[in-house]
Structure 1
Amino acid sequence: MVASLIAMLLLSLLVIGNLTYHARQQQLDDRFRAELAAGTAPVSEGDFEDVLLADGDPVALIEIPEIGLRDVVVEGTSGSVLMDGPGHRRDTVLPGQVGVSVLMGRALAYGGPFGGLSQLTPGDRFSVTTGQGEHVYEVMGTRYAGDPAPANPRSGESRLILTTARGGPLAPVGVQYVDATLVGDAQPRGARQTTFVTLPPQDTPLATDTRTVWALIFALQFLVVAEIGAIWALRRFGWRKTWIAFIPVLLLASLLTATQVAVLLPNLI
């Protein structure tokens, strides 16, 4: 059971997760392009009807040619949200607006959209498209947790911080930041309800999300019951019939469990 769970966890993070990531990105891209065309793409923490954006709603499109990245950015930065794409931290302004905006993305699992951030060098340019248009940013540099941060942005300036994990595969040892400044004029800030104080703890860098532990408990129970059933069937009917009947069930139970375990892992891996 342990072996199947570990194997399914790796498969979920690196294979199945990549497939679902790209499928979800296609859906988000279609939705965000439709909102841009209709002029309803969000420019604040609420939608065009002032309804608070849900976690996972598309808010921007980021394109970084140097690392081959073109992904839709979603609202929220918890582990489950970052399974769908890079996330925008709720307590910061949207890219292109006056102030500091923070985008967070995984380094390896579920598409690993920010896995190539270390390749960026000062002077590299990339674009972020929001409901206020296309914004071009220029990389200032890369830093790690504990390094001195750049000086605070000047009045009317827009700064963007790209955030991901650093370290070995699936074993982060810290956080990597890429600072960038807007080339051109910044847009007005949109209204935001979330502040640094009220930001949920699961939305911070390398945080885990324990809100769905109950789902993991049920998934583990399902896996244990399936294992017991397979052992009983093996003794009663032999391995051929047991294989046909229980392998799909065991794979499903292992996948459900692995997905819930993945949510408990640091959100930037």
Structure 2
Amino acid sequence: MTVTIQPSPAASPPREPAAPVPPPSTPAAVPQPAATPPPASQPSIRLALQVPGIALSILAVVALGFVVHLILVSQLQYQRNQQTAFADFRAELARGTAPVGQTRAEFTDSGEVAKETVVEPGSPVAVLQIRAIGLRAVVVEGTSGENLRQGPGHRRDSVLPGQAGTSVLMGRRSSYGGPFRDLDLLLPGDQIKVVTGQGEHTYVVRGLRHPGEPAPAPLAAGQGRLTLTTADGDPFIPRDILRVDADLVTPAQPAPPRKFGAAALPPAEAAMATDPAAWTPLMLWGQALLLGTLAVTYLRARWGGWQTWIVGAPVLGAFGFAIADQAARLLPNLL
């Protein structure tokens, strides 16, 4: 029996184990840039934060400006108004057209009287001089707060100084020059001189009078009296009314016919009255200041601090002084 031996296959070299294949995985996430949030409105945020602070600062500046206006600026305004009034009154005296009553005549080219018009409030009507207290001031027509910013005022329902009857002059004690601040220093016997379109007139002080004290006896026919009225009390803190009565010692001049009496005068011309006509310009200037404040606040957020104040400070300052000037009319007219 024949046995066939099959050759065995050649032994193959041992295989190295295959490297393990990593399981499929999710591809690594590529880092993405963070989403940029929509740009915040930085000027709006800063504007909202700055408005209260700037508004309070401007309010404080306005209040300080009001005080500065009463103490300093009003005195300068008074001096300027007095110089202008004196020049106007001197020219009228030279022309012979200074008012001598409640009305003034307007003439034609031929010298005839064309018509008579009421003397406008604020027109100069006299020059008052009291050497005992160093006072020399132009007196204007009218006694409202607006008129008394120019100088002492003549109460329009009374006769002019130098005429028969009682002439009443009012003046401020502290603000706008305070022309009547030293009336309480007058003594009986002190002289008061007044120049009007009818000449120079002399009065002699009779005495000082407070509310509740008896008034002088009524005047006899042909006699004249001058009553000076102002506030009484500490400066800028009036407590009462002070009156100085003086008797006319020079011949009384005739008074033209009266066109209106006390009932025709507005309440603003009474002693210690305020001027309600100041409310309208005060509100308009206040609105202008508000708009200016908003504009400055917005520009400060856009431009920066010093650039904005260079432009805005003069504008806001002008608005502030205009407001202070109108607010002063709401104070008592004898302050």
Same-fold status (TM-score > 0.5): yes
Task: Please tell me whether residue 226 in structure 1 is matched to residue 296 in structure 2.
Answer: no
Q: 1:176 aligns with which of 230, 242, 248?
A: 242
Post-superposition shift, 1:234? 2.1
Post-superposition shift, 1:60? 0.5
Post-superposition shift, 1:156? 1.1
SS in 1 for 2:263: coil
Residue number in structure 2 paired with 1:268: 334
Describe the superposition over 1:37-91 as per-residue Cα deviations: whole angstroms up to 9, x where unpaired.
2211111111133211111011100001111111110000000110001000000
Task: Please tell me whether residue 137 in structure 1 is matched to residue 194 in structure 2.
Answer: no
2: distance between equivalents of 1:194 and 1:219?
Answer: 35
Residue number in structure 2 paired with 1:189: 255
Q: 1:79 aligns with which of 145, 148, 152?
A: 145
Residue number in structure 2 paired with 1:67: 133
Q: 2:217 aligns with which of 133, 138, 151?
A: 151
SS in 1 for 2:276: coil
Post-superposition shift, 1:98? 0.6
1: distance between equivalents of 2:69 and 2:252?
Answer: 40
Task: Please tell me whether residue 34 in structure 1 is matched to residue 87 in structure 2.
Answer: no
Describe the superposition over 1:80-119 as per-residue Cα deviations: whole angstroms up to 9, x where unpaired.
1100010000000000101000000000111111111011
| More deviation, 59-68/166-175 | 166-175
Residue number in structure 1 paired with 2:81: 24
Q: List gaps (5 residues or longer) in structure 1.
A: none
**One-letter amino acid of the structure 2 residue matched with residue 4 of structure 1:** V
Post-superposition shift, 1:198? 1.4
Residue number in structure 1 paired with 2:321: 255
Post-superposition shift, 1:258? 0.7
SS in 1 for 2:262: coil
1: distance between equivalents of 2:220 and 2:206?
Answer: 15
SS in 1 for 2:120: coil
State the identity %: 46
Cα RMSD after superposing both structures:
1.1
2: distance between equivalents of 1:13 and 1:81?
Answer: 16
1: distance between equivalents of 2:333 and 2:227?
Answer: 17
Number of residues of Structure 1 aligned to a counterpart in Structure 2: 269
What TM-score, normalized to structure 1? 0.97
Describe the superposition over 1:131-154 as per-residue Cα deviations: whole angstroms up to 9, x where unpaired.
111000000011112211111112
1: distance between equivalents of 2:212 and 2:229?
Answer: 14
Post-superposition shift, 1:240? 0.8
**One-letter amino acid of the structure 2 residue matched with residue 31 of structure 1:** D
SS in 2 for 1:100: strand
Task: Please tell me whether residue 209 in structure 1 is matched to residue 275 in structure 2.
Answer: yes
Post-superposition shift, 1:238? 1.7
**One-letter amino acid of the structure 2 residue matched with residue 240 of structure 1:** W
2: distance between equivalents of 1:156 and 1:86?
Answer: 25
SS in 2 for 1:197: helix
2: distance between equivalents of 1:37 and 1:227?
Answer: 50
The runs of at least 4 aligned residues of structure 1 exceeding 3 Å deviation read none
Residue number in structure 2 paired with 1:7: 64
1: distance between equivalents of 2:257 and 2:196?
Answer: 15
SS in 2 for 1:7: helix
Post-superposition shift, 1:5? 1.7
1: distance between equivalents of 2:282 and 2:210?
Answer: 33
Please say which structure displays the higher CA radius of gyration.
2
1: distance between equivalents of 2:256 and 2:181?
Answer: 29
